[in-house]
Amino acid sequence: MKIFGKDIKRKELLKIIGDISQLGGAKSYEYTDGMSRGIRAIDVKTICGIDFTVLIDRALDISNLSYKSIPISWKSATKETSPIYYESQGTEWFRTFYGGLLVTCGLSHMGAPCSDGGEELGLHGRISNISAEKVSVGEKWVKDNYIIWIEGTVREAKVFGSKIVLHRKISTWMDCPRILIEDTIENIGFEKTPVMVLYHINIGYPLLDNGSRILEPKTKVLYEVDFKRKIPKNFLSFSKPIIGFQEECYYHDIEPDEKGNVNIALVNEGFNSNQGLGLWLKYKKNNLPFLVHWKQQGAGEYVCGLNPGNSLSRGREIERNENTLVNFQPGEKKQYKIEFNMLSSNKEIEVFKKNYCK
* Per-residue pLDDT at 26: 98
CATH number of the domain at 276, please. Answer: 2.70.98.10
The DSSP letter of residue 226 is -
- Domain housing 338: 2-356
Residue 226 has pLDDT above 80, yes or no: no
Q: What is the pLDDT of residue 5?
A: 87
The pLDDT, as a whole number, for residue 299 is 95
Residue 229: per-residue pLDDT: 81
pLDDT tens-digit map of 97-156:
999 999 999 999 999 999 999 999 999 999 999 999 999 999 999 999 999 999 999 999
Give the pLDDT of residue 36.
Answer: 98
Q: Range with the lowest mean pLDDT among 181-195, 215-229, 268-282, 287-301?
A: 215-229
Please state whether the peptide bond connecting residue 208 to the residue before it is cis, i.e. omega within 30 degrees of 0.
no
State yes or no: pLDDT of 198 exceeds 80: yes
| Burial label, 193 (beta-carbon count in 10 A; 0-12, 13-18, 19+) | buried
Task: Report the pLDDT value the prediction gives residue 220, as an integer from 0 to 100.
Answer: 93
pLDDT number for residue 227: 77
Summarised one tens digit per residue, pLDDT across range 38-76 is: 999 999 999 999 999 999 999 999 999 999 999 999 999
Give the number of domains in the chain.
1
192 confidence band (pLDDT: 50, 70, 90): very high
What string of DSSP letters covers 76-134?
Answer: -TT-S--GGG---STTGGGGG--B-SEEEEEES--SS-EEETTEEE-TTBSGGGS--EE
The amino acid that residue 313 corresponds to is S
In terms of pTM, does the model score above 0.85? yes
Report whether pLDDT(228) > 80.
Answer: no
Q: Does position 2 have pLDDT exceeding 90, yes or no? A: no
Mean pLDDT of 17-40: 97
Express each pLDDT in 243-252 by its tens digit: 999 999 999 9
Pairwise CA distance, residues 278 & 341, whole Å: 9
Q: How confident is the model at residue 358, as a pLDDT?
A: 73
Q: Which residues contact 237 (CB under 8 A, 6 or more apart)?
A: 211, 212, 213, 214
What does each C-alpha distance from 165 to 186, 217, 274 come to in angstroms? 5, 33, 45
Over residues 324-355, the pLDDT tens digits come to 999 999 999 999 999 999 999 999 999 999 99
Average pLDDT, the chain: 96
Q: Which of 1-15, 176-190, 335-349 has the lowest mean pLDDT?
A: 1-15
